[in-house]
Chains A and B, each alone.
Chain A
């Protein structure tokens, strides 16, 4: 089989390119025993919590305690979800028609990633401000009239975690992104991964709590679609 493939590839434009013979791994060792150099079993599992290991995975370094705690609080705050949103609605729909856990997980992760991507799109100006060092006022579109996310920032302040005072002016979404950025997740992809990870369990649990084939319990006409013939 491989000889025939070489015959065919011999005429292919890719045939002469000097491809690597190996797949590179940057985060985990091939046996999965270490993450960014740290042993999972003898080290991380004994001395660190899930949020710290999550930040290690995404940034490459173990976070300072305050940064880890800030990320943990922010991710717990954001882990709740409404079934009214596309991700919840999609997994319930898939579950009702009998999807098993593997495709449900795929649908859930994809839907959450799309929501995170949309959130980060709305926070594009905020990112510019965060990268600039927060000395200027935050962008107006990220602010909430009358003040910011008192509960999130209040909880963190109560634990002695001092965030920039400018965060107080931010609205919920912006404050979430700002806290995660402050905690060390400075790339949109890192924030997306953290948000998907924090929300996935609740989303899958919601899916599993619905009964497959219980079609009558599902609101078939929600939302109501109207057909408009194309002109």
Chain B
């Protein structure tokens, strides 16, 4: 990335900054590092029941934390959980809303025209609870440097109000995170990787502890926890003819 490791980076650069450099090609400003750290901490959930983290635990259960890490990260590529697909999709939505409303159009009419036909809106919908508990803490972090007033974050909050009023659907963390990342210059194409990078600590936590514990119950669940619902026992044609 054009930076001399020992002359420029060593002793001057945090892990967050190095991750940002690796993904975007530039070093972040100090307050941008604050945004990234805020994202990483507010969405930290080392709950081993979260599906990709559980995959990490399961693959680490024989004692190899790296297998846990690798498997868990592969599971992050899923469609429904995590940042890999959700952040790029959400940031593209924000960019579209921005383009539709950037030239003096009536916000409500422009957004309605853009979204009316779309059943699914990335960045919206909060499963299993009334609201996403990560939104307020992230906003408070951004308020410390005034970043809650930056363009895409403001737009995301305006869009969230519009969606809530018309579809009774609340925003989830992907909306705020995608907006905050757009405001630090991370485009849609890089948001999946950036999101994954900012979650790496959770996967390390589960993979390392999983490898250390080598829990027998993760290597094999008790028999009674499995319910077979496949085909009934049967004899093959060749076995029948012998």
Binding site for B on A (CB under 8 A): 82-87, 89-90, 93-94, 96-100, 102-103, 106-107, 110-111, 113-115, 117-118, 209, 212-213, 215, 219-223, 225
Q: Is B223 positioned at the interface, with any CB of A under 8 Å from its CB?
A: yes
Do A86 and B220 form a contact, CB below 8 Å, given A100-B77, A110-B71? Answer: yes
Residues of chain B within 8 A (CB-CB) of A102 are 77
Contact with A along B61-98 (1 / 0, CB 8 A): 11110010011001101111110000000000000000
Do A99 and B219 form a contact, CB below 8 Å, given A90-B55, A111-B58? Answer: no
What is the CA–CA distance of A83 and B219 in the complex, to the nearest angstrom? 10
What is the CA–CA distance of A110 and B59 in the complex, to the nearest angstrom? 8
Do A84 and B75 form a contact, CB below 8 Å, given A94-B55, A220-B49? Answer: no
Q: How many residues of B contact A (CB 8 A)?
A: 35
Contact with A along B25-62 (1 / 0, CB 8 A): 00000000000000000000000110110110011011
Q: Is B221 positioned at the interface, with any CB of A under 8 Å from its CB?
A: yes
Q: Are A103 and B58 in contact (CB under 8 A)?
A: no
Contact with A along B115-130 (1 / 0, CB 8 A): 0000000000001000
Partner of A103 from the list B49, B61, B74 (CB cut-off 8 Å) is B74
Distance to closest chain B CB from A4 (angstroms): 9
Q: Are A114 and B221 in contact (CB under 8 A)?
A: no
What is the CA–CA distance of A220 and B230 in the complex, to the nearest angstrom? 21
Residues of chain A within 8 A (CB-CB) of B77 are 99-100, 102-103
30 contacts between A and B (CB under 8 A): A84-B220, A84-B222, A84-B225, A84-B226, A85-B221, A86-B61, A86-B220, A90-B54, A90-B58, A90-B71, A93-B54, A94-B52, A94-B74, A97-B75, A98-B79, A99-B74, A100-B77, A100-B79, A107-B59, A107-B71, A110-B67, A113-B67, A114-B59, A117-B62, A117-B64, A209-B230, A212-B80, A215-B127, A222-B225, A225-B49
Do A110 and B80 form a contact, CB below 8 Å, given A86-B62, A94-B55? Answer: no
What is the CA–CA distance of A30 and B79 in the complex, to the nearest angstrom? 36
Residues of chain B within 8 A (CB-CB) of A222 are 221, 225
What is the CA–CA distance of A85 and B82 in the complex, to the nearest angstrom? 25
CB within 8 Å of A: which B124-155 residues? 127
Q: Are A93 and B51 in contact (CB under 8 A)?
A: yes
